[in-house]
Chains A and B, each alone.
Chain A
Amino acid sequence: MAENTTSPLLTKRRKLYLLVIIAAIMAIGSTALLINILEHKQEAKNPFYRVTELTDDIDDPSIWGKNFPLQYDGYKRTVDQVRTRFGGSEGLPHTPTQVDPRSVVAQSKLEEDPRLKTIWAGYAFSKDFREERGHAYMLEDQTYTERQIVVKQPGTCLNCHASTYTLYKKLGAGDITKGFEQLNQMTFVEGRKQVTHPVACIDCHASDTMQLRITRPAFIEGMRAWKFAQGIKDYDVNKMASRQEMRSFVCGQCHVEYYFQGPEKRLTYPWAKGVKVDDILAYYDEAKFKDWSHAESGAPVLKAQHPEFEMWNQGIHARSGVSCADCHMPYKREGAMKISEHHVRSPLLSINLSCQTCHKWPESELKERVELIQERTYFMRNLAMDALVDLINDIKAAKDAGKTDEELTSARDFQRKAQFRLDFVEAENSTGFHAPQEAARILAQSIDLSRRGQNAIHTLSK
């Protein structure tokens, strides 16, 4: 009976306890929400904390990173090695040696496709050519490539394998063009001692305003030459380019076709006639430039190098005003703030941010579309490669059979033209995606030129 008399009281008290607890939890919850909203409001104000003073002479990205930790965090992640179907790099173990202390390297493209060795016979690239890795490795990989052993590389290479802006200023006493000229004339080993970082904040951003700017004299000169061909005189990319153009131009400082001009080894972008493959080849023909004489055929051949900027220029994305950064450095949300992703990489690894902003299809559909383009390009690239190897073998056989240089001139010229076109697509890092129809056109022409070269040889033997 005693239980009966006490239990209603206890129940009432328990109810009150429960009420206190619920009310307290609600108060805690509301406060947590309030604070969360407060934080988001603070983020939305896009606060920038100047914890350190940046000057135009600081190239160390970790110092810039103190003011811009979110961007720096992405930048550091370019060490990631991730494969995509046709690109990206795979981290392969490597036993460190005295000359090459790297413990991880990317896969060798030469081993993946030995035809490349035939095509580049006699050139340093036939000795060591690996899949490119992220920005973080650009200096290290250039320093330890076996190409350094085969050929004495000039300081010119460093223009795009290191953060060189402060070095230009130092060497040129403030004048980056003068500094650039001096760096080009050094040996790689000399120049290497004076640089510390791979591409860094200062190579694309002005230290006071964070605005994009061009720091590579070769790009400034290349753009001036290209614009001149279009009738625009004295083009100054740093003064005349729009903000959206700059979001591609900063990348175009290095992701382009180039050559070393003259004994001064001046880094030059061959755009005086335009940036299409035909314009560039016409430029080289006029300059009578060759990268090397082919070891098997004796042809005066050229090596195309990562012409992403040129290829992108021919594609629909460029035409629609989509910049490199729109896909390779898409905007991402950090709390209520938006920043551009500084983890520069294949858009196939961030399809939602890179593609879906404009293309409202599921990620799997978009990936399939890209890979279909790449598959088709790869198919044509293989045809073109077989045709070129056939031509090289034919010229070699004719040469061994005693045909004179004069008789072989025509076939060798076909090789030069076919090879540069094939390489223009092969060395380009999108497997055709940056401009699918242009890549197909170039490969079709390459196949045609190789086969016509073979015809030229066969006519000789008759």
Chain B
Amino acid sequence: MKSRILAIIASIFIGIAIGISIYTFIYAKGYSYLLNDPSACANCHVMNEQYDGWIKSSHRSVATCNDCHTPASFVGKYWSKASNGFWHSFAFTSGKFHEPIQIKAHNRQITEQACLKCHQDVVDAIEGTYPQTKQISCLRCHSSVGHMH
């Protein structure tokens, strides 16, 4: 008898937990992070400057946030979204993060690679003059093509 009551209570709590989680997900526009719309990246306003900058940038009509900030493969893209999504939420909720925000080395590497999605042909000629181990950094000079800062 007792375990049946417990089971009912458990079910209620599980139901509440799932319900609130779904509501939180909708309220926080969680679904938007699964899509491609750049405005999702400014949902929490921390990246407003980057978003505003992108709107005025030369790349706004050819590349969204995801085009430059996630890997090309499907799994890579969603793994990157999940990992960044978790850490960004964690930083924003705890309020502990460096201001102004700075890209991490791993994410910067993803962006370096992303340039080549479109511009590989352009750089083939200059890449050849460097040893294979020393990749030329696009961002060293072109860091403001997507957005300033």
Contacts and interface: CB of A to CB of B under 8 A. Distances in A.
A24 B6 CA distance: 13
A16 B10 contact: yes
Contacts of A19: 10, 13-14
B76 to A, nearest CB: 26
B100 interface: yes
A17 interface: yes
Given A356-B100, A357-B100, A26 B21 contact: yes
A16 B20 contact: no
A358 interface: yes
Given A23-B17, A40-B44, A352-B100, A30 B10 contact: no
Contacts of A316: none
A121 B20 CA distance: 76
Interface stretch (A31-39, A221-229, A254-262): A31-39
Interface in B127-144: 143
A27 B20 contact: yes
A30 B18 CA distance: 9
B17 A34 contact: no
A336 B45 contact: yes
A34 B44 contact: no
Contacts of B7: 16
Contacts of A40: 44, 92
A365 to B, nearest CB: 13
Interface string B1-23: 01100110110011011001101
B63 interface: no
Interface string B74-94: 000000000000000000110
B55 to A, nearest CB: 18
B27 interface: yes
Contacts of A26: 13, 17, 21
Contact of B16 (A27, A37, A336): A27
B13 A23 contact: yes
A44 interface: yes
A152 interface: no
A27 B44 contact: no
B3 to A, nearest CB: 5
Interface residues of B, number: 28
Given A23-B14, A26-B17, A27-B16, A336 B99 contact: no
B6 A20 contact: yes
Contacts of A102: none
A21 to B, nearest CB: 9
A90 B128 CA distance: 58
B10 A23 contact: yes
Nearest to B15: A23
A75 B24 CA distance: 37
Interface in B16-52: 16-17, 20-21, 23-24, 27-28, 44-46
Contacts of A360: 102, 143
B14 A30 contact: no
Nearest to B24: A34
Nearest to B143: A360
B21 A357 contact: no
B21 to A, nearest CB: 5
A333 interface: yes
A352 B21 CA distance: 36
A20 B10 contact: yes
Nearest to A334: B95
A37 B3 contact: no
Contacts of B46: 333, 336
Contact of B13 (A24, A34, A37, A332): A24
Contacts of B44: 40, 44, 336
Contact of A34 (B14, B27, B149): B27
A16 B16 contact: no
B16 A23 contact: yes
A30 B20 contact: yes
B92 to A, nearest CB: 7
A23 B19 CA distance: 11
B104 to A, nearest CB: 13
Interface string B95-109: 100111010000000
Contact of B3 (A13, A36, A336, A353): A13
Nearest to B12: A23
A12 interface: yes
Contacts of A24: 13, 17
Given A27-B16, A358-B149, A37 B21 contact: no
Given A20-B6, A27-B17, A33 B24 contact: yes
Given A17-B6, A44-B45, A357-B149, A30 B99 contact: no
A333 B99 contact: yes
A43 to B, nearest CB: 9
Contacts of B27: 34, 37-38
A185 B136 CA distance: 68
Contact of A31 (B3, B20, B28, B45): B20
Given A23-B10, A23-B13, 8 more contacts: A23-B16, A24-B13, A30-B20, A34-B27, A37-B24, A37-B27, A38-B27, A352-B99
21 contacts: A13-B2, A13-B3, A17-B6, A19-B13, A19-B14, A23-B16, A23-B17, A24-B13, A24-B17, A27-B13, A30-B17, A33-B93, A34-B20, A34-B27, A34-B28, A44-B44, A336-B44, A352-B98, A352-B99, A352-B100, A358-B149
Interface of B: 2-3, 6-7, 9-10, 13-14, 16-17, 20-21, 23-24, 27-28, 44-46, 92-93, 95, 98-100, 102, 143, 149
